């Protein structure tokens, strides 16, 4: 029998205990060992829990118990999860986690300690909830050079955008609904400002390219500035707006890595990923496009991924699963101002004809986009590829002419 511990008894943590207990027999068959939860760590009291005898408030109980071989860290946040994980790995215990913030910020260091101690640090649940993505990328697609990863990585923002697109609901109302349904947190900043998706694409990029891409290296923009007018123009253009986390290797070897809203053509596989679902597209040089789709959040889907990692660790006690990336630095990433893409712009102007003339002078091959019910003082267009710096300069020239930029959104090639 292998003894394990679960740190954190929130939504995911309680799900992990539930899955381990309810599937005890089938898990034992798959792991070829019975798995027993010896400790559940939480500072809160759970007197009515059927597992009340397992609770402890002392991390040292877990750290100093040599019988505990695998620990699930489902506390979230960097502190104290980082300190705890480091101590556990240094003690030679394997750790599994759903904690994307910790993996995205400290992954290289923790993976290095795991390697030195011949232990494992696994984090399938950190991206895409129950969708298998970390293991497929590190094992099944191992023969490929990953050319690009792009995905809808945040369920909350995808739900909000879907409501805006399908029901013409405003951002604030859609956010309120997401909160009522329990998708968005009370403080939804990490979701709507793109930080959650940023951590996830940083993890996938680190995995794909073998060097740690820290979240602060990723240009990140959320969906708070998306207006219903932009949604309507995207529809006229032939697509939808989605919050996309994307990384691709450019010809000069640098990574174009961003989280930002993008215009996506309706024919794209990601355009039909709606509501709280996630979709992740991995382009391999041998496989071509591979798409992963499913529920990217939620108690049991996420717990299922955590428990799968526990089983993997139990099957590999004293042996290493090869998931690794080395430390990275800013030189790996193309500065955002130098990235090149086609763009959609919506402006407010006194005279559409004058605006169109200025736009055709300043942008590359601009095409006007029209929508029904457009206001007299609005003008929107799609233009061909320019660097972000060139776009900003051209936009500045428009502003000087009294033409106000109301929206500027990347047009994707997905």
Q: Catalytic positions, please?
A: 200
Token couple for 378: 């609005």
Name which of 191 and 256 has its Cβ closer to ligand HSE: 191
**Closest separation between CB of residue 156 and ligand HSE, Å?**
3
Token couple for 237: 């253009």
Q: How many residues bind ligand HSE (CB under 6 A)?
A: 9
3 state SS of 75: coil
Name which of 129 and 284 has its Cβ closer to ligand HSE: 129
**Closest separation between CB of residue 344 and ligand HSE, Å?**
25
Name which of 151 and 155 has its Cβ closer to ligand HSE: 155
Question: Given candidates 42, 73, 124, 191, which one binds ligand HSE under the rule CB under 6 A?
Answer: 191
300 class by beta-carbon count within 10 Å (0-12 exposed, 13-18 middle, 19+ buried): middle
Name which of 183 and 344 has its Cβ closer to ligand HSE: 183
Q: Does 99 contact ligand HSE by CB under 6 A?
A: no
Return phi, psi of residue 407, to 5°.
-160, 145
Enumerate residues 278-337 that contact ligand HSE by CB under 6 A.
Answer: 296-297
**Closest separation between CB of residue 91 and ligand HSE, Å?**
28
Q: Compute the distance between CA of residue 199 and CA of residue 101 in angstroms, rounded to an integer.
A: 6
Structure-token match 């943590």, residue found: 13
**Closest separation between CB of residue 294 and ligand HSE, Å?**
12
Name which of 130 and 239 has its Cβ closer to ligand HSE: 130
First to last CA, the chain: 48
**Closest separation between CB of residue 98 and ligand HSE, Å?**
8
Task: Write the interaction track for ligand HSE spanning residues 114-143; mark x where CB under 6 A is met and - where it is not.
Answer: ---------------x--------------
Respond yes or no on whether the N-terminal peptide bond of residue 80 is cis (omega within 30° of 0): yes
Token couple for 30: 């798959």
Token couple for 365: 């091959």
Task: Write the interaction track for ligand HSE spanning residues 150-189; mark x where CB under 6 A is met and - where it is not.
Answer: ----xxx--------------------------x------
Distances (CA, A) of 193 to 171, 329, 407: 13, 24, 16
Element (H, E) at 110: helix 100-116
CB of 377 within 8 A of CB of 348?
Answer: yes
Task: Write the interaction track for ligand HSE spanning residues 246-285; mark x where CB under 6 A is met and - where it is not.
Answer: ----------------------------------------
Contacts of 228 (CB under 8 A, 6+ apart): 164, 168, 170
**Closest separation between CB of residue 188 and ligand HSE, Å?**
8
Name which of 27 and 297 has its Cβ closer to ligand HSE: 297
Structure-token match 């599937």, residue found: 23
Beta-bridge partners for 148: 248, 283
Report which DSSP code applies to 211.
Answer: B
Question: Given candidates 42, 196, 256, 312, which one binds ligand HSE under the rule CB under 6 A?
Answer: 196
352 class by beta-carbon count within 10 Å (0-12 exposed, 13-18 middle, 19+ buried): middle
Interface with ligand HSE by CB under 6 A: which residues?
129, 154-156, 183, 191, 196, 296-297
């Amino acid at each position: 029998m292998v003894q394990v511990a679960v740190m954190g008894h929130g939504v995911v943590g309680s799900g992990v205990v539930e899955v381990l207990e309810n599937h005890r027999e089938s898990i034992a068959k798959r792991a070829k060992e019975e798995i027993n939860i010896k400790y559940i760590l939480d500072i809160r009291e759970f007197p009515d829990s059927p597992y009340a005898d397992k609770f402890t408030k002392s991390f040292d109980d877990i750290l100093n118990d040599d019988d505990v071989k695998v620990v699930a860290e489902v506390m979230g946040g960097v502190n104290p999860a980082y300190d705890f994980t480091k101590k556990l790995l240094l003690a030679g215990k394997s750790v599994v986690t759903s904690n994307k913030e910790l993996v995205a910020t400290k992954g290289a260091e923790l993976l290095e300690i795991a390697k030195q101690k011949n232990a494992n640090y696994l984090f399938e649940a950190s991206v895409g909830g129950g969708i298998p993505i970390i293991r497929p990328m590190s094992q099944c697609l191992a023969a490929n050079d990953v050319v690009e990863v792009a995905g809808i990585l945040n369920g909350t923002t995808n739900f909000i955008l879907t409501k805006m697109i399908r029901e013409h609901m405003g951002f604030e109302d859609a956010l309120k609904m997401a909160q009522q349904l329990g998708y968005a947190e009370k403080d939804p900043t990490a979701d709507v400002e793109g930080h959650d998706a940023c951590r996830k694409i940083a993890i996938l990029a680190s995995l794909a390219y073998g060097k740690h891409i820290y979240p602060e290296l990723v240009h990140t923009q959320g969906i708070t500035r998306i207006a219903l007018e932009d949604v309507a123009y995207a529809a006229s253009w032939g697509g939808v707006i989605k919050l996309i986390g994307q990384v691709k290797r450019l010809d000069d070897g640098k990574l174009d890595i961003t989280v930002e809203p993008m215009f996506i053509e309706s024919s794209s596989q990601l355009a039909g990923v709606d509501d709280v679902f996630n979709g992740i597209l991995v382009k391999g040089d041998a496989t071509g496009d591979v798409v992963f789709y499913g529920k990217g959040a939620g108690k049991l889907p996420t717990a299922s991924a955590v428990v799968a990692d526990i089983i993997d660790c139990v099957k590999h006690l004293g042996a290493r699963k090869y998931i690794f990336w080395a430390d990275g630095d800013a030189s790996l990433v193309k500065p955002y101002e130098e990235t090149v893409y086609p763009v959609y712009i919506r402006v407010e102007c006194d005279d559409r004809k004058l605006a169109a003339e200025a736009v055709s002078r300043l942008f590359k091959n601009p095409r006007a986009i029209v929508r029904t019910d457009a206001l007299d003082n609005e003008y929107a267009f799609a233009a061909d590829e320019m660097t972000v710096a060139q776009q900003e300069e051209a936009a500045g020239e428009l502003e000087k002419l009294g033409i106000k930029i109301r929206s500027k959104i990347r047009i994707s090639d997905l």
